[in-house]
Structure 1
Amino acid sequence: MIISYNSKSNIETLKERDIPGLIELSTSVGWDYDKDEIQTIMSSGKVYGYKNDEGTIVSSAAVIPYGSNLASIGMVIVHQDYRGQGLGKKLTQACLNSVSKDAAIMLIATEEGIPMYESMGFKYTDCVYKYLCDNYIPTILDDMLEVEILPMREEDLPQVVKLDKDAFGVERRNFISNRINQAKESLVVKNPDGKIIGYGLSILGPINLILGPIVAPDHHSASALIDRLARNHQGKLRIDIPSGNDAFMSHLEKCNFIKVSQPPIMIKNSKLLPPRNKTLYGIAAQIFG
């Protein structure tokens, strides 16, 4: 059933009081946003939405700015009863309008969202690989490691932010701080000289333990981070992996991870993502790029 929406209603900037409604909207389309995830999104960016006459949120979209040069769009949801009326497109445009006109805008698209994004000028530039695991099988022994993996300390943050900048292409200090606060576990990788050369986070969601960001100098160190984050978790795991990490993905498949989809990365106002140094092995989540 399609319900006609009052197009004269204004787009709202959603606040913390709207989180239960956003969770309900997310659940209606089979997505698993929870309170902690939405709080991190709101602390790192903005969430826009439409409400019906009863005050129920029927559509949403979020934008996460990373400085003035890049922003990521996600959480573009329209309740099935309100589809076909342009709500998702209008909210995505509100996200675009909220950042610098010169900023590159990236998003990781659902298959059904691709035509809308293409109509708005987004172009395919790359993809990520979504992997799930129901029963993790450890394959790494601690005495095989040439690096040391330790809990992240507060004083490690500047080095972690620098590593993330080089891996992702732009600085994300505000988001990284918020994500660490949300994390179940935050780890750093140190080389034999004691220098931090990588980091990894795990986020406990309502369905999966999300692994990411994962930043490491090589796939061996990335695999060691995954093992430390996953080995004591009793439940489902998820990681989204940028392209170009075939050896890492091969290792994960030996640990019982299964590739379930390959969603496209689309970008507007640029042909390419910012330059990266090939140390990003797992993204934070699709909404964060």
Structure 2
Amino acid sequence: MVISNKPQIELVQFDKYDIPGLIELSRSVGWDYDENEIGTVLSSGTIFGHKNAEGNIVSSAAIIPYDTFLASIGMVIVNKDFRGMGLGKEATRKCIESVSKETVIMLISTEEGKRLYEKMGFNTVDFVHKYLCDNYITNTKARPLNNSEIIIEEFNGVDIDELLTIDGDAFGDKRSRFLMNRIKQSENCLVAKDMNGAIVGYGLSILGPINLILGPIVAPDYQTALVLIDKLSSEHRGKLRIDVPSGNKELMMLLENSGFVNVSQPPIMVINSDKMPSRNDTLFGIAAQVFG
């Protein structure tokens, strides 16, 4: 469905048939979105963008609304041959207009996009730390505070409400549809349980075309987070990525001991608020930048 027009360029809402074109757009700027990742974005939210007269996708922006008051924008891409035309701004604006005016919208900005978002009313409220690893070194310190109190096991889907609740407390809003889609996409989903069998943490790994992405990672403390990360990483032979929210210095030091390198610290920006959503300091790894 055409939403608005520019000469030979139209702003549209994408669907599953546009996935190949969105992958090509991603590759054109050196990003590594694949069919599974874009499928999760589409099943959890909406992607807008532009097509040129030949029907080629030349821009995109995605919005993922969560359960109550929070949404995330990401996947803001403009083909280099179509920059300077305001396409990124227009697609991002369409995302903002697709949710209520009371919705707090967050995004994790590239350095190039920061100025645009500031002009649109976004302000920087925090940072994440992007870590990459070529060769993972198993961490001998990867154990909970008390080994006898935490059990790590594969998630069987039975206690999904528990998992959704602890994720919501960690992230700042429940995100039921997204998280269930993400678990389906995951290579592995582990849960940390206390001695009473209650879920107190969890971790996902997502296999992408370049990296095994670790996250979300939710845990009662950084030691348990490290155990989840270690178990998700130790058998993978290839590159790893994790994006760690600021304020987790102990975990970041241990990640660096395991071969991770901090390659950038992109800003978290929000609109319709002047601060981050309330969190309980148990989020040690985000899902991905597109999901906030």
- TM-score normalized with structure 2 length: 0.95
Partner of 1:24: 24
Partner of 1:46: 46
Letter in 1 for 2:284: Y
Partner of 1:271: 274
| SS of structure 1 residue aligned to 2:214 | strand
Identity rate of aligned residues, in percent?
A: 56
Letter in 2 for 1:274: P
For 1:140 and 1:275, the matched residues in 2 are separated by 33
For 2:152 and 2:67, the matched residues in 1 are separated by 30
Partner deviation per Cα, 1:4-49 (whole Å, 9 max, x = no partner): x944643111010100000000000000000000000000000001
Q: 1:218 aligns with which of 216, 221, 225?
A: 221
For 1:26 and 1:247, the matched residues in 2 are separated by 34
How well do the aligned residues superpose, as a CA RMSD in angstroms?
1.4
For 1:139 and 1:103, the matched residues in 2 are separated by 41
Distance 1:12 1:251, change over 3 A: same
Partner of 1:57: 57
For 1:114 and 1:142, the matched residues in 2 are separated by 36
Distance 1:128 1:36, change over 3 A: same
Distance 1:269 1:141, change over 3 A: closer
Partner deviation per Cα, 1:232-264 (whole Å, 9 max, x = no partner): 000000000001100010110110100000000
Structure 2 gap ranges (5+): none
Partner of 2:249: 246
Q: 1:228 aligns with which of 231, 237, 248?
A: 231
Partner deviation per Cα, 1:37-62 (whole Å, 9 max, x = no partner): 00000000000010011100000000
For 1:189 and 1:103, the matched residues in 2 are separated by 32
Contact preservation (8 Å) 1:68, 1:100? no
Given the alignment of the two structures, is residue 33 of structure 1 paired with residue 9 of structure 2, yes or no?
no
Give the drift of 1:159.
Answer: 0.6
| SS of structure 1 residue aligned to 2:63 | strand
For 2:140 and 2:45, the matched residues in 1 are separated by 37
Contact preservation (8 Å) 1:215, 1:279? yes
For 2:198 and 2:81, the matched residues in 1 are separated by 53
Give the drift of 1:191.
Answer: 1.6
Partner of 2:151: 148
For 1:102 and 1:10, the matched residues in 2 are separated by 28
Give the drift of 1:196.
Answer: 1.1
Contact preservation (8 Å) 1:11, 1:49? yes
Contact preservation (8 Å) 1:63, 1:95? yes
Contact preservation (8 Å) 1:134, 1:235? yes
Give the drift of 1:68.
Answer: 4.0
**Structure 1 residue ranges, 4+ long, deviating more than 2 angstroms after superposition:** 5-10, 140-146
For 1:31 and 1:285, the matched residues in 2 are separated by 13
How many aligned residue pairs are there?
285
Distance 1:75 1:43, change over 3 A: same
- TM-score normalized with structure 1 length: 0.96
Partner of 1:183: 186
Alignment of 1:68-217 (within 5 A): 68-140=68-140, 145-146=147-148, 147-217=150-220
Distance 1:180 1:276, change over 3 A: same
Partner deviation per Cα, 1:143-176 (whole Å, 9 max, x = no partner): 8734211000111211100010000010001001
Contact preservation (8 Å) 2:143, 2:224? no
Structure 1 gap ranges (5+): none
For 1:40 and 1:201, the matched residues in 2 are separated by 14
